[in-house]
A and B are shown apart, each in its own frame.
Chain A
């Protein structure tokens, strides 16, 4: 008796019974049917793919952004607060350094006060350059990606520390140290991008 279609399909998929396998070995008709079933499977896999008739990404993005709205706003709120506090700190530093008044802490000299805006500008410049590299060559090896992510994570931790220090009104010296560390990390990040793009040209702009 011939095996059922279900039994032949099991056999095709490597799950058939020994009895069915023995039968197919002896029966030309069943063997041809097995070959036909395998052929159908192969032909199905060769059918052309269908692309979506329209770009659905904008709809997906909008829905995702809507659903994330609350969380995003919370994060933006913290970021905006950090930037405002930082700006206020810089203004105060510049004001006191110019007036040299009694409000300036004893340990903060003119050089340190002048250094902070410079470090922030340098940090912005390096961040811009890193962004350019990322746009030009977004595809990385796993190792490069690992290094870049490690540095980016440290920058993120540093950013949180900067925002925290600003909030507690800590010394300009400490802020200069943190911003200096941020510049150093961005410099490292830029060096990784330059190395992988084969560009060891002049990146010391200041």
Chain B
């Protein structure tokens, strides 16, 4: 069964986790590790960063679950923590990248980019692989906004709040991501025009 943020642990597990029971916390970790890791990977673009997001998220979950009162579903609560951690790492990445660009120049820094995440599984369609590759080639912030808005279901207001930016920034980044995706995918649709892209 696919693990998603929509899962809900049973009430007893939740109560035990609130009291600091490690087995209960582990059960929650095992339920949500894949969606948290996937979110970290899509937003940050690197396996190592996604691992950091996963660890930091569950450290925060372990420390704060005693205060979790269930106002939102547990998965939504964990997703928000994971998103916040991923965006923090993204900001850190951007700062490091700026430093590198200053030192090495844009072309050399681009050559340091990791390859696109492995497609994995022979059954995956070529279209999916293309989309995955295109996603990995998007500018970091645009990719993060695209993923959080179009896949994780965050509104522009929520993204703005989490990223410490404005709603219009989030909107323009989403439009930028879609424009770049179209270019990268180069699907031969051509012919469509619009007033401005972002």
| Contact present for B175 and A46 (CB under 8 Å) | no
Closest B residue to A144 by beta carbon equals B12
| Contact present for A4 and B151 (CB under 8 Å) | no
* CA–CA, A47 and B117, complex, Å: 12
- Cβ–Cβ < 8 Å partners of B30 in chain A: 57
Q: Is A138 close to B, CB under 8 A?
A: yes
> Given A43-B128, A43-B131: A59 and B55 within 8 A (CB)?
yes
- Cβ–Cβ < 8 Å partners of A51 in chain B: 33-34, 37
> Which of A33-41, A87-95, A111-119, A167-175 has 4 or more CB atoms under 8 Å from chain B?
A33-41
- Cβ–Cβ < 8 Å partners of B34 in chain A: 49-52
| Contact present for B63 and A57 (CB under 8 Å) | no
- Cβ–Cβ < 8 Å partners of A139 in chain B: 10
| Contact present for A57 and B29 (CB under 8 Å) | yes
- Cβ–Cβ < 8 Å partners of A4 in chain B: 175, 194-198
| Contact present for B11 and A146 (CB under 8 Å) | yes
Q: Is B85 close to A, CB under 8 A?
A: no
Indicate which residue in B11, B22, B178 contacts A37 across the interface (CB closer than 8 Å).
B178
> Which of A5-13, A99-107, A120-128, A176-184 has 4 or more CB atoms under 8 Å from chain B?
A5-13
> Given A50-B34, A52-B37: A63 and B195 within 8 A (CB)?
no
* CA–CA, A87 and B22, complex, Å: 29
- Please classify how large the interface on chain B is, using the bins under 10, 10 to 19, 20 to 34, 35 or more: 35 or more
> Which of A64-72, A77-85, A158-166, A198-206 has 4 or more CB atoms under 8 Å from chain B?
A64-72
| Contact present for A46 and B128 (CB under 8 Å) | yes
| Contact present for B192 and A33 (CB under 8 Å) | yes
Chain A contact surface mostly: helix
Closest B residue to A64 by beta carbon equals B62
* CA–CA, A1 and B193, complex, Å: 10
Closest A residue to B172 by beta carbon equals A6
Q: Is B164 close to A, CB under 8 A?
A: no
The 8 closest A-B pairs by CB, nearest first: A145-B11, A145-B12, A6-B175, A64-B62, A41-B150, A52-B37, A5-B175, A49-B38
Seen from chain B, the residues whose Cβ lies within 8 Å of a Cβ on chain A are 2-3, 10-13, 15, 20, 22, 25-27, 29-30, 33-35, 37-38, 41, 47, 50-51, 54-55, 58-59, 62-63, 117, 120-121, 124, 127-128, 131-132, 135, 146-147, 150-151, 171-172, 174-175, 178-179, 181-182, 189, 191-198
Seen from chain A, the residues whose Cβ lies within 8 Å of a Cβ on chain B are 1-6, 8-10, 29-30, 32-33, 36-37, 40-41, 43-54, 56-57, 59-61, 63-65, 67-68, 138-142, 144-146, 148-149
What are 21 of the A-B contact pairs (CB < 8 Å)? A2-B193, A5-B179, A6-B172, A9-B171, A29-B192, A32-B189, A33-B194, A40-B181, A41-B151, A44-B135, A47-B128, A48-B124, A49-B34, A53-B47, A53-B51, A54-B51, A61-B22, A138-B10, A138-B13, A140-B10, A145-B10
